Amino acid sequence: MNRTAVITGSSSGIGKHIAIGLSQKKYHIILISRDSDRLNLVKKEIEKHGNSCEVIIGDISSDASFADCSRKIKKIKNIDVLVNNAGIGIFNKLEDISSEEWDVQLNTNLKGAFLITKSLLPSMIEQKSGKIVFINSVAGLNPYPYSSAYVASKYGLRGFSSSLREELREHNIKVISIYPGAVNTPFWDKMKSDFPKDQMLPSSEVASSVINAILAPGNLVQEEIIIRRTAGDF
């Protein structure tokens, strides 16, 4: 039986490329996102090469939507990998950030990772193996201006993953945190920034680094990985 990988935010960017890459390693892929059209395009890409995939449409930041996702996920056996990739950023001065904008970033970037990890964890503990990957950001290591909610969510994700790592060592579950710099993904499409996208990290190459960490053999785990341009952050 193929191992199974669950990937949130897998309709585009890093999540999409991780999904395609792991499918080529004969993982059965579970794609999760709110964007059904894009998810189905990724599904077709995976199946075009004879690999297996299924789609779950849902918003992991919403308790009501996630409840339906959770019921579907719990029916799946042999889950070996969870990639917490879903994320959103809204950059602005603190005085201009609304409560709704604050909540959507904390709920998506941090609470969503908590909800799905909690949902999948019992099966990993039972099988005494698994890999949980958190796609964080260099904003989870260093503060940046005009991004207080985003930075808070990523610092929170760093603390959550670090605590969880210590909790799960006895169960032989690997917890991997990835801290990329600016990556050329649709994340930036609605941002008011002058960062040159052609100089950002390619999402396919970041995904390759993540896949290598997932495939690390035996008792070896790359716990925290920082991925930057050679020239450094913008």
pLDDT value of residue 64: 83
What residues have CB less than 8 Å from 6, skipping those under 6 apart?
Answer: 30, 32, 73, 76, 79, 81, 82, 83, 116, 120
User: Does 192 fall in a domain?
Assistant: yes
> Is there a contact between 112 and 82 (Cβ–Cβ < 8 Å)?
no
| 88: containing domain | 4-227
7: which strand partners? 31, 83
User: Does 114 fall in a domain?
Assistant: yes
The structure's pTM equals 0.95
Rounded Cα–Cα distance for residues 221 and 228 (Å): 20
pLDDT value of residue 218: 93
What CATH number does the domain containing 186 carry?
A: 3.40.50.720
> Is there a contact between 183 and 201 (Cβ–Cβ < 8 Å)?
yes
What residues have CB less than 8 Å from 74, skipping those under 6 apart?
Answer: 119, 123
pLDDT value of residue 210: 98
pLDDT value of residue 229: 94
User: Does 124 fall in a domain?
Assistant: yes
Mean pLDDT of 8-25: 97
User: Does 180 fall in a domain?
Assistant: yes
User: Does 23 fall in a domain?
Assistant: yes
Torsion angle of alpha carbons 115, 30, 161, 176, nearest 10°? 180
The DSSP code for 107 is I
Element (H, E) at 224: strand 224-227
User: Does 211 fall in a domain?
Assistant: yes
Q: Lowest mean pLDDT of 27-31, 43-47, 65-69, 185-189, name the range.
A: 185-189
| Count of structural domains within the chain | 1
Q: Is the pLDDT of residue 1 over 70?
A: no
User: Does 232 fall in a domain?
Assistant: no
126-179-175 Cα angle (round to 5): 15
Q: What average pLDDT does the chain have?
A: 94
Q: Is the pLDDT of residue 169 over 70?
A: yes
Mean pLDDT of 36-55: 96
pLDDT value of residue 192: 64
List Cα–Cα distances, 61 to 32, 109, 121, in angstroms: 12, 8, 18
User: Does 234 fall in a domain?
Assistant: no
Of all residues in the chain, the percent with pLDDT exceeding 90 is: 82
- pLDDT tens digits for range 129-164: 999 999 999 999 999 999 999 999 999 999 999 999
